[in-house]
Amino acid sequence: MKAQLPDASKKWWKETVFYQIYMPSYADSNGDGYGDFAGMTLKLDYLKTLGIKGIWLTPFLKSPKVDNGYDIADYYAIDPTYGTKADFDNFLAAAHKRGIKVIMDMVLNHTSTDCKWFQESKKSKDNPYRDYYIWKDEPNNWESFFGGKAWAKDTATNQYYYHKFDVRMADLNWANPKVVSEVLNILRFWLDAGVDGFRLDVINFLNTDGITKDNPMKDGKQEHLYDIDQSGVKNAMRTIKSAVSAYKDRFIVGEIGSDKIEVLKQYQSEDLLDVVFNFNFGSIAQFSAKRIFDELKSMEKNMSNYPTLFFGSHDMPRMIDRLCDGNPERAEALAALMLTAKGVPFIYYGEEIGMHNVTAKSFDEIADIQGKTHYNLAISKGKTPEEALVEGNANNRDKSRSPMQWNAGEFAGFSTAKPWIKIGDYSQNNVYSQENHESSIWSVYKKLISLRNCEPVLQYGRYSKLELSGDCISFIRNYNGESITVVANFGKSTTIKLPSAAKILLGNTSLPTDHFLIYRIVLK
């Protein structure tokens, strides 16, 4: 057996099950149809009961919310939709009182065009803020990740500014030291306020090297070779990490815009990011036991530190629909993998009650800017509204952003008013109907989280076995003389023969399809 981790390698985030809260959709305290800090504060005891020890909050800073807060207008102000700075401080203190850490989403790639910096920048070519953004007389061929061109002309100076996402989200110029200085001040402000770390949005998209070559085209689509992963990105990350590391016990997780392990692994190291989101694992489009197993093996082989483990987020369809065809038993088996494999697990809100996708039945039901953009592009190409709606829904991230379903009452107990976004079917899929039922998906999540929280083997253990037999994934993790075996069976029914010293922790030796077994062995 390999030597175990020294105590110096112990980190609170390796012992933590994180829970992502999509800010507008979790809990509304004032009846305006949007989630807020006061509402979330009221739900902290729920999260503590579930066993959550870390929260990732999506953006809550002042924003016109073209992209639901990922377009920041003021990095120092709480958006009024979510409350006040006092509401934030109260939430943070209440979370910490319950032993729950909080990391916040930070968007450093671009700002809203409403941001004071951009409003100044566009006034004239010699404005002190001009070089905070990227301006050109003539654009190159780079395309927006939301569709269409990544350049917009501003009539005040007759130059184009670069926007990798929506036209109202202008990219910052990271080659400008003043921008870097501004960003570090922002990070220190929120660290001083008490946040426990950051989730850095599309952090490998930073424009550190300016506008370079045209991107090549392949099979009619643009390959993003020069507009992401620029050579200066790692130095920018080192600067960020150094500033954050000046504060004790802080944590950085980076969103790297790739599902390729070769790209992801290069950004995770002691001087770069603590962990990155492993989209190679988390964004698998359809279920495959072999694909999931292969990615577990790949992460073990390639990641220098811990990988991240997740099956859902605000940018992808709900796990139970995408990977489980609506089957809660498979969702439970996938949850068992996520919460016992080596890595840092992230649960997406509502996953614990089996929340499903929502689908827009008209353009008016689409809230997401990405979905709207693709709908409008389809219309501009001569497609019918019905055809455009298909394309809009295919790219619509609203699927997984519907309000949290607390009970079977009006508006699912999320709000006393109509929510800002379409709500799903909450008659059975709600917290109230599940939290006191032993066989509910909620109860399974709670047991799995509790097991991970109290078993150092599941926090720090190394793999001594990681195998696939048919569609049955199994692994053994060892730590400090103890061993825990996990078997997740996605294939034909089977029976597991236990070693003589085994003690079942969860599950049964009889394993039908989409069931799991977890047992412990005390090593001699």
Q: Which one is catalytic: 255, 295, 352, 455?
A: 255
Taking each helix axis as running N to C, give the angle between helix 177-193 and helix 85-97, from 0 to 180 degrees, rounded to the nearest 10. 60
CA distance 76 to 106: 12
CA distance 388 to 391: 5
Res. 523: pLDDT tops 80: no
119: tokens are: 């409003």
Q: Which one is catalytic: 71, 79, 196, 201?
A: 201
pLDDT digits (tens, 9 = 90+) for 223-236: 999 999 999 999 99
Contacts of 43 (CB under 8 A, 6+ apart): 26, 27
Can 201 be counted among the known catalytic residues? yes
* Residue of 354, 365, 490, 514 whose CA lies nearest to 425: 354
pLDDT number for residue 247: 98
Coil, strand or helix at 454: helix
Residue with tokens 């070693």: 499
Q: Are 455 and 366 in contact (CB under 8 A)?
A: no
pLDDT digits (tens, 9 = 90+) for 288-323: 999 999 999 999 999 988 999 999 999 999 999 999
How many C-beta atoms surround the C-beta of residue 90 within 10 A?
15
Confidence of residue 3 (pLDDT cuts 50, 70, 90): very low
How many helical (H) and strand (E) elements, i.e. helices and strands, does the chain have? 16, 24
H helices of 51-113, in order, are: 85-97
Burial class (CB in 10 A: 0-12, 13-18, 19+), 262: exposed
CA distance 395 to 140: 25
pLDDT digits (tens, 9 = 90+) for 15-67: 999 999 999 999 999 999 999 999 999 999 999 999 999 999 999 999 999 99
Residues linked to residue 222 through DSSP beta bridges, in sequence order: 217
CA distance 305 to 147: 35
463: tokens are: 């793999």
pLDDT digits (tens, 9 = 90+) for 275-297: 999 999 999 999 999 999 999 99
192: tokens are: 């001083």
Q: Are 263 and 247 in contact (CB under 8 A)?
A: no
Please give the model's pTM, rounded to 2 decimal places: 0.94
CA distance 10 to 4: 11
Contacts of 261 (CB under 8 A, 6+ apart): 278, 280, 295, 298, 299, 302, 303
DSSP 135-182: EESS--S-B-TTSSBSEEEETTTTEEEE-SS-TTEEEBBTTSHHHHHH
Q: Are 514 and 455 in contact (CB under 8 A)?
A: no
Instruction: Give all strands (DSSP E) within 6-100, no chain letters.
Output: 18-21, 54-57, 61-62, 74-78
* Residue of 151, 180, 172 whose CA lies nearest to 72: 172
* DSSP-derived secondary structure letter, 387: H
Element (H, E) at 245: helix 233-245
Q: Is 224 left (phi over 0), alpha (psi -120 to 50) or beta?
A: beta
Residue with tokens 């599940």: 434
Cα angle 43-44-46, degrees, rounded to a multiple of 5: 65
Res. 103: pLDDT tops 60: yes
* Range in 272-276, 278-282, 368-372, 491-495 with the lowest mean pLDDT: 368-372
CA distance 411 to 404: 9
pLDDT digits (tens, 9 = 90+) for 146-191: 888 999 999 999 999 999 999 999 999 999 999 999 999 999 999 9
pLDDT number for residue 191: 98
Q: Are 108 and 183 in contact (CB under 8 A)?
A: yes
Percent helix, strand and coil across the chain, each to the nearest 5: 35, 20, 45
What type of residue is 101?
A: K
135: tokens are: 């301006």
Res. 5: pLDDT tops 80: no
* DSSP-derived secondary structure letter, 172: B
Residues linked to residue 21 through DSSP beta bridges, in sequence order: 57
How many C-beta atoms surround the C-beta of residue 362 within 10 A?
9
* Residue of 283, 147, 281 whose CA lies nearest to 222: 147
Can 387 be counted among the known catalytic residues? no
pLDDT number for residue 9: 77
Residues linked to residue 272 through DSSP beta bridges, in sequence order: none
356: tokens are: 């499903």
pLDDT digits (tens, 9 = 90+) for 447-476: 999 999 999 999 999 999 999 999 999 999
* Residue of 459, 438, 414 whose CA lies nearest to 21: 414
Res. 1: pLDDT tops 50: no
What type of residue is 365?
A: E
pLDDT digits (tens, 9 = 90+) for 319-349: 999 999 999 999 999 999 999 999 999 999 9
Coil, strand or helix at 279: helix
Contacts of 31 (CB under 8 A, 6+ apart): 415, 416, 417
CA distance 198 to 241: 10
CA distance 118 to 123: 9
Burial class (CB in 10 A: 0-12, 13-18, 19+), 384: exposed
pLDDT number for residue 146: 86
- The share of the chain scoring above pLDDT 70, in percent, equals 98
How many C-beta atoms surround the C-beta of residue 40 within 10 A?
29
